[in-house]
């Protein structure tokens, strides 16, 4: 049974999400603020975290950054903040997905299932290491380095980069990337572009590796000139 941490200062919303997830077989724990969430993660193992942004004291963005130092489990923002900048910022600081309130219960459950499924696949995958140019991705320890310096990526950014590097030299459409990395029928395919932007900012600011093929999709180059 997967164990999910729900972090939201609005008790009624946290309890609603907890009831929905309990009904489909998940174990849940509620934290009403960021500090409580950090304490819980230090002493318990969670398979996935749902995190609000607008919380007093330690807001969701700050909490997410600190959680990333403690766990690599998927983190999904569930928040009323819905601008593209909010979403990009959330992904930049370590979140794997972003759902805006109000949300459809079926979509929330589907996204949680997709992230847990991908997490389980990653945990079961044997050692796989890919190096292109000065970037190396290692599935054994879930580590990415550039020029031998470690790059901190969210779970979804890691999966996206691994998929791109595994198919280096091939032009991949947004649909291919979304279906392979997110593996869910719900959600917005535009999240691919948002995650590409976030990944580039962290590992490829000059766009030497991840090339946009206009009208077609994206390509990770095979060799760097």
Which tens digit of pLDDT belongs to each residue from 112-149?
988 888 776 555 544 478 999 999 999 888 899 999 89
CA distance 75 to 98: 9
Confidence at residue 43, expressed as pLDDT on a 0 to 100 scale: 86
Q: What confidence tier does 52 reach under pLDDT thresholds 50, 70, 90?
A: very high
Q: What are the φ and ψ backbone dihedral angles of 7, each rounded to 5 degrees?
A: -115, 105
Answer whether residue 197 shows pLDDT above 90.
yes
Look up the CATH number of domain 3-122.
3.40.50.2300
Single pTM value for the model: 0.61
- Name 28's bridge partners: 4
Q: Say yes or no: domain 126-220 is CATH 1.10.10.10.
A: yes
> 213 — phi, psi (to 5°)?
-105, 100
- Residue 219 pLDDT > 90, yes or no? yes
Domain with CATH 1.10.10.10 in the chain: 126-220
pLDDT given for residue 123 in this prediction? 57
- Work out the angle at residue 87's Cα, subtended by the Cα atoms of residues 85 and 89, and round it to the nearest 5 degrees: 65
Q: DSSP secondary-structure letter at 218?
A: E
Question: Could you tell me the sign of the dihedral formed by the alpha carbons of 81, 86, 92, 93, in that order?
Answer: negative
Q: Which part of the chain is CATH 3.40.50.2300?
A: 3-122
Taking the C-alpha atoms of residue 214 and residue 157, their distance in angstroms, rounded to an integer, is 22
């Amino acid at each position: 049974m997967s164990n999910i941490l729900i972090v939201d200062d609005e008790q009624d919303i946290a309890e609603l999400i907890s009831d929905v997830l309990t009904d489909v077989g998940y174990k849940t724990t509620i934290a009403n603020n960021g500090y409580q969430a950090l304490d819980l993660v230090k002493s318990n193992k969670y398979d996935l975290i749902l995190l609000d942004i607008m919380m007093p004291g330690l807001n969701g963005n700050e909490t997410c950054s600190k959680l990333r130092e403690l766990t690599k489990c998927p983190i999904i923002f569930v928040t009323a903040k819905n601008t593209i900048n909010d979403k990009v910022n959330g992904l930049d600081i370590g979140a794997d997905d972003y759902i805006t309130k109000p949300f459809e219960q079926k979509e929330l459950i589907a996204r949680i299932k997709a992230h847990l499924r991908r997490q389980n696949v990653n945990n079961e995958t044997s050692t796989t290491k890919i190096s292109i140019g000065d970037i190396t991705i290692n599935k054994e320890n879930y580590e990415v380095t550039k020029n031998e310096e470690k790059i901190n990526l969210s779970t979804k950014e890691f999966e996206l980069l691994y998929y791109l590097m595994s198919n280096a030299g091939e032009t991949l459409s947004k649909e291919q990337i979304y279906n392979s990395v997110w593996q869910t029928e719900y959600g917005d395919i535009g999240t691919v572009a948002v995650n590409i932007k976030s990944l580039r900012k962290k590992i490829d600011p000059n766009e030497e590796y991840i090339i946009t093929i206009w009208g077609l999709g994206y390509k990770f180059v095979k060799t760097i000139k």
